[in-house]
Amino acid sequence: MVGEVGWNAGPCPSTTREHALSHDTTTQSFGTRLGNFLRRETTGGALLIGAAAIALVLANSPWREAYETLSQTVVGPAYIGGVYIHLDLSLASWAADGLLAIFFFTVGLELKHEFVAGSLRSPKQAGVPMLAAVGGMALPAIIYVVMVLSLGNSEALHGWAIPTATDIAFALAVLAVFGKGLPVAIRTFLLTLAVVDDLLAIIIIAVFYTSEINGAWLGGSLVVIAVFAWYIRTRSPKWWLLIPLFVVAWAFMHASGVHATIAGVLMGFAATARPIHGETDTRTHHYEHVVKPWSQGLALPIFAFFSAGVNLVDGGGPAEILGQPIVFAIVAGLVLGKLIGILGTTWLVTRVTPLRLAQGIGVRDLLPVAFLAGIGFTVSLLIAELSFEEGSEFTLGAKAAILIASVLAATLGALTLRWDVKQERGPDMNRDDLPDEVTTLIGDEQDRKDH
């Protein structure tokens, strides 16, 4: 295991936050240092960008046929003992359906923590970012639908959910680099917004992107997930039992017709978010600490490598692909829709309801946050693959649009963050008639220990 921390969740010192975040590298092994490096927000974002860049280069190079052949190489059995299980998947499908389950497992852990012990446990504290997330998903979808209809591209309507997603890893990485000196509450707002965004995206995938459901396989998956949920709460669960349960639940969910990443979310949500059995750490934090290096260092980069390779050379060339109405609709949805939806909802909520922003945050600070929310990337790429047939012009156009919008949103987010850092901050930024008490800033010593 990366970082020399297993899936076993016994009350040992290695599960404590202080140990996990230790900066004393002189006594740490290479595995521990590597694990801590891969957990960093900046590392996750850099690996995503690097993998996507390599994919784009290969997909438009003389080796593009080799890249396409690799992506479509089929691995896995179609049958086991005469039972059709449909695990004869291409490497690209294994990345989207299989490896992303690891990422969604960490999403489930994060959701559980936030609902039980984090920013979502108090509706008063979480109300503004939660409602902002809803506005930031509804308006991009509306913009997409209006634009594809007005531009005569109604057959692309099935992709309406593509511009609704926010990439947590990418957005937090940009904030960590360019938001140094701003109140940590801004990160909490972005994290809460992105977590709610992910939750709604998961619901959208489960409801709108599931064609046929095999009740037997789905029931089998839910039974295994229930066993997983029971076992992960026992005194000392073993990784060599948790991983097989995870794989079986995933395989059954995949065979049921429901997107298999849903199994990852449900199993992440099964972990406890409060200490049990006399432990000093929560199971959600422990397993996130263990799995996050695999998610950010392996699952997400490989998915980006296979999904971001948009071939702009063959066929009609860049002009034909980038000239599709779907491209303009997705870019407008992610960049403008997120911006207007989040800022507009926040402005409305804080003026017509008793809800207020957290201490130290002003509406001004939400300008860069709204731009960062326009970084769709991982989940948007997944929804694009679920929306259209593999290799279709819509799929290529949608992926190209997601990459363009994500780069544009990240750039605007970085620029507005640096602008915001330079502005003078008032004593009551959230206008609740109480002086702000800001003790921790992004990038300071305490924040580096926590992130």
User: How far apart are the C-alpha atoms of 99 and 106, rounded to whole Å?
Assistant: 12
**Per-residue buried b or exposed e for 124-156, using 16+ beta carbons within 10 Å of the residue's own CB:** ebbbbbbbbbbbbbebbbebbbebbeeeebeeb
pLDDT tens-digit readout, 100-146: 999 999 989 988 998 898 877 877 778 999 999 999 999 999 999 99
User: How far apart are the C-alpha atoms of 22 and 32, rounded to whole Å?
Assistant: 10
To the nearest 10°, report the CA torsion of 111, 114, 119, 123: 80
Q: Which residues pair with 424 in a beta bridge?
A: none
pLDDT bucket at 9, cuts 50 / 70 / 90:
very low
pLDDT at residue 26, rounded to an integer: 58
pLDDT at residue 451, rounded to an integer: 57
Phi and psi, residue 441, nearest 5°? -115, 155
CB of 355 closer than 8 Å to CB of 128: yes
pLDDT bucket at 338, cuts 50 / 70 / 90:
very high
pLDDT at residue 432, rounded to an integer: 79
Q: Which of 18-27, 55-64, 95-104 has the lowest mean pLDDT?
A: 18-27
Q: Which of 117-126, 296-305, 365-374, 417-426 has the lowest mean pLDDT?
A: 117-126
pLDDT bucket at 411, cuts 50 / 70 / 90:
very high
Question: Does residue 249 carry a pLDDT above 50?
Answer: yes
209 CB contacts (<8 Å, ≥6 apart)? 161, 259, 383, 386, 387
Catalogue the long-range contacts made by 54-57 (C-beta closer than 8 Å, 24 or more residues apart).
Answer: 54/305, 55/304, 55/305, 55/306, 55/307, 55/308, 55/309, 56/308, 56/309, 56/310, 56/403
Average pLDDT, the chain: 89
Q: How far is CA 142 from CA 55, 158, 186, 266, 324, in A?
A: 31, 13, 27, 29, 18
pLDDT tens-digit readout, 148-185: 999 988 889 999 999 999 998 899 999 999 999 999 88
If you average pLDDT over residues 305-311, what whole number do you get?
A: 93
Q: Which residues pair with 48 in a beta bridge?
A: none
Q: Which residues pair with 83 in a beta bridge?
A: 80
**Per-residue buried b or exposed e for 40-75, using 16+ beta carbons within 10 Å of the residue's own CB:** bbbbbbbbbbebbebbbebbbeeebeebbebbeeee
Q: Which of 109-123, 276-290, 381-395 has the lowest mean pLDDT?
A: 109-123
Angle, CA 241 vertex, CA 240 and CA 242 arms, to 5°: 100
Q: In angstroms, how far is CA 56 from the centroid of its own chain? A: 21
Question: Does residue 418 carry a pLDDT above 70?
Answer: yes
91 CB contacts (<8 Å, ≥6 apart)? 70, 71, 72, 73, 75, 306
112, two tokens: 């559980």
Helices assigned H by DSSP within 121-167 = 123-150
